[in-house]
Amino acid sequence: MVLALGIGLRSAGTVGLFAGTVVLSGGIAVANVLLPAVARAEYGSRSAAVVGAVVGSMALSASLGAGLAQPLTGLTGSAMGGLALWLAPVALAIAALALLVRRRPRPLLRPRPRVGAPRSCATGWAWP
């Protein structure tokens, strides 16, 4: 969703280009950190192949973005049109993730044991 917002902002003129680049870069940075961790958490002992596929897909998508920037600009006739075309794979990924989330079995929620606050948090000297 953040990626789609960043791509959409980038096609809104000069200010949108800079704001969208910041939003888009932030979304990519967070995804690059979280996706391998999520793959490890979900797949446990089988995570090596999944993490490899995740990292490989990130490298492939980065190289496709760099390699297709100029051809897409030529195809659409403008740089803004070429940037807007990147909404299609993002929309496809959002739809695929929505389907995966719907089919995923819901874990049973267990109440967490209550843990008291650390002693330093309970005293007045830790807080102004």
Reduce the DSSP state of residue 105 to 3 states and report it.
coil
Query: What is the pLDDT, as a whole number, of residue 60?
Result: 92
9-21 per-position pLDDT tens digit = 887 778 888 888 8
* Close Cβ partners of 27 (under 8 Å, ≥ 6 residues apart): 2, 3, 5, 6
Give me 126's structure tokens: 């830790």
Neighbour count for residue 89 (Cβ, 10 Å): 14
Q: What is the dihedral of CA 26, 72, 94, 16, to 10 degrees?
A: 40
Query: What is the pLDDT, as a whole number, of residue 124?
Result: 56
pTM score above 0.85? no
Q: Which residues of the chain have pLDDT under 50?
A: none
84-108 per-position pLDDT tens digit = 888 888 888 888 888 887 877 766 5
